[in-house]
Structure 1
Amino acid sequence: MALPCALFSSSSTDFEPQELVKQILKVSQLPAPSLTTPEIKSYEWHINTKYYSTKIQLSTTDKRTIGDKEFAESVEAFIHYFDPTVPDSFSLATAWLPYLSHIEPEVLMLVCKCAKDSDAVGRKTTLAWCVENGFELVELEPELDSEDEDDDFPETTGLARIIQALHAHTWPNLQMKDSPPVQSPLVRQMMKEQKLLNKELEMRSDVNSKQTSTLGQNSTENEISTSLNSIEASNSSSPSSSTNGTEMKTSSEASASERKSCDSKSNGKESESDSGVLLPDDIDWTSFIGAVASDGTNEDAQLGDKDLGVDEFEDLFRKLKVMKDRAENLAPDERKKYAEKVAISFWNAIGGDEDELGDLDADSD
């Protein structure tokens, strides 16, 4: 099986394709070639990169030919030199297209010394043709403008670009290399230091997590302790703390009594009028409204005329809470009836017209 090859040709009388091969092989005189065909001369080139190694043929021809079938199938790259100052040189370069359509090499390069807009074949014309036909224009001695000179990462040009493209190609017979180990003492030391640093950061992270958890737990305990101390201080400083404690206990007992009464009623053992059950009529609605509107800003202030003390006001709200707790423990239908009774009791307390209650009053009866 023939080695894969890169085919070099030229349409300039002043430049032979062997010149490019010399520069790639870095020799002043080429060794004896192997004749693939009478028109094609080949020179072996050993490619040895960081990632792979392979052997290919650098083939040259002075005529437009793709040799025999075996050679045509081995062509992976085509590099042609032309002279942009001579129109016929460019025409001869374009004449290669029918031949290339049969072998379809992946690497296509059109090489010249320098492409200028003032040439017989202008730079723009050359670039347009290259783009249209899949070629890359490579200038061996390109003109650099001010922008290129200031570029920190200049583009690879000239012979280096040709070699770079050939190295980048995936040759069918290449042999991949194993990833080489890092041998630099400096790099090994840096890797060791980075490993130690990562370990130290991980340990610090664990310590910080534990400290954060402990601080969070202590903070919660401090908040609970502060709240309890505030409650104790408030109870000890308030004149009515004893009364409030008694009322809270009474409210709790009343709520328990209400729940017990509700359970008993569901079993058919007691009725709403049993002892311990707070009915809507037990609320002094007039006093309640008067207390709420005592600041004079409420439009319904005239409905109440009693000036309640702190104990009476708290007693009203305690009774409302008992009624609320009772309603929450009733079945939906019974809760509705209980709410109707509360509404009727409130309506009567403010002097509302009983006829306006309509069916609500009738249903509650």
Structure 2
Amino acid sequence: MSNEDVGPCVVFVSCSDDLEIGKLVDLVAGAGDSAGVRVWDVNTKYYEATVNLFVVGRGELDRLKNDVNLQEAGGLVLYYDGDFQKSSEDLKSVQDFARDLEADVKLLVCDFCSSEGSRTSAEEWSVQEGFEHLEIAGDDGDSDRLKQALEAHVWPNMITKPAATNKKTEKTNRKSNNKAKEDDLDDFSTLFEQLATMKEQAAGLPPEERKNFAEQVVLAYWRSIGGDEEELLDL
């Protein structure tokens, strides 16, 4: 084939023949045959997409570039043995490919760093080259991060899912609204029962005080049925 269009994809590159890069592919797409090309059916809470996963050794990069169109490559994963000083020459051999591949997600991955100095060097190289450095094993390892980083990419063929309705929240809101209505009704009933008493109180007041008292009674009734005090004040 010649420059075949493979659509959205991730390229996994082993920087050493001794590394079992297939396990990285399994972390992303689940267990399966890691030779050649794997299809990753991405299914997250928010979207679905289909992404091709290419697994190659560093010596196969030229062939890969000639055979397929990697224009839609969203991710590049370089796998090294954790000894950055020893792997630096191997990484140099893939640097041009990495720079030419305009992938948004670029990850430099190892099981765990052989030393603190190796970790520092790997992180410095990653910052310089636009990669994220990941350790997937050991005390500081995070094997989930590899998949999470690739899922965070906006794949061009992604199909978004409709927003999930939180039925529990809706039910809680309905209960709260019903409770508020019941409370308002109770307040109104209480005020109504006190109407005769309030009428007697108002009868013995001077005209101006009786007017103010009446206004307060009206406001109390209005609030008891859920009314906004500002609405009355604007009348």
Which TM-score band (shorter chain)? Answer: 0.5 to 0.7
Q: What CA distance in whole angstroms lies between the structure 1 residues aligned with 2:107 and 2:148?
A: 12
Matches within 5 A, 1:51-90: 51-62=46-57, 63=59, 64-65=61-62, 66-68=64-66, 70-85=68-83, 87-90=85-88
Contact 2:15 2:80 in 1 (8 A): yes
**Structure 1 segments (4+ residues) deviating >6 Å:** 201-207
Task: Please name the residue that 1:19 is paired with.
Answer: 23
Q: Secondary structure at the match of 1:15?
A: coil
Structure 1: gaps (5+ residues): 34-40, 145-156, 208-213, 226-365
Contact 1:3 1:55 in 2 (8 A): no
Q: What CA distance in whole angstroms lies between the structure 1 residues aligned with 2:186 and 2:123?
A: 60
Q: Which has the higher contact order (CA 8 A, sep 6+)?
A: 2
Contact 2:12 2:78 in 1 (8 A): yes
Structure 1 position 192 matched with structure 2 position 159: no
TM-superposed CA distance for 1:43, in Å, is 0.8
Structure 1 position 140 matched with structure 2 position 136: yes
| CA gap 1:191/1:224 in 2 versus in 1, 3 angstroms | closer
Task: Please name the residue that 1:176 is paired with.
Answer: 160
TM-superposed CA distance for 1:58, in Å, is 0.9
Task: Please name the residue that 1:329 is paired with.
Answer: none
Matches within 5 A, 1:85-234: 85=83, 87-115=85-113, 117-118=115-116, 122-144=118-140, 158-182=142-166, 187=169, 189-199=171-181, 224=208
| CA gap 1:161/1:86 in 2 versus in 1, 3 angstroms | closer
Q: What CA distance in whole angstroms lies between the structure 2 residues aligned with 1:93 and 1:13?
A: 13
Q: What CA distance in whole angstroms lies between the structure 2 residues aligned with 1:205 and 1:90?
A: 77
Task: Please name the residue that 2:224 is paired with.
Answer: none
Contact 2:27 2:147 in 1 (8 A): no
TM-superposed CA distance for 1:202, in Å, is 7.0
Larger-gyration structure (1/2): 1
Q: What CA distance in whole angstroms lies between the structure 1 residues aligned with 2:65 and 2:76?
A: 14
Structure 2: gaps (5+ residues): 190-197, 210-235
- Structure-2-length-normalised TM-score: 0.68
TM-superposed CA distance for 1:91, in Å, is 2.7
- Paired residue type of 1:78: L
- Structure-1-length-normalised TM-score: 0.45
Cα-Cα RMSD: 3.6
Q: What CA distance in whole angstroms lies between the structure 2 residues aligned with 1:143 and 1:84?
A: 14
Task: Please name the residue that 1:30 is paired with.
Answer: 33
TM-superposed CA distance for 1:188, in Å, is 5.1
Q: What CA distance in whole angstroms lies between the structure 2 residues aligned with 1:182 and 1:3?
A: 35
Q: What CA distance in whole angstroms lies between the structure 2 residues aligned with 1:113 and 1:205?
A: 67
Q: What CA distance in whole angstroms lies between the structure 2 residues aligned with 1:131 and 1:202?
A: 61
Q: Secondary structure at the match of 1:105?
A: coil
Task: Please name the residue that 1:249 is paired with.
Answer: none
Structure 1 position 6 matched with structure 2 position 10: yes
Q: What CA distance in whole angstroms lies between the structure 2 residues aligned with 1:222 and 1:93?
A: 95
| CA gap 1:93/1:192 in 2 versus in 1, 3 angstroms | same
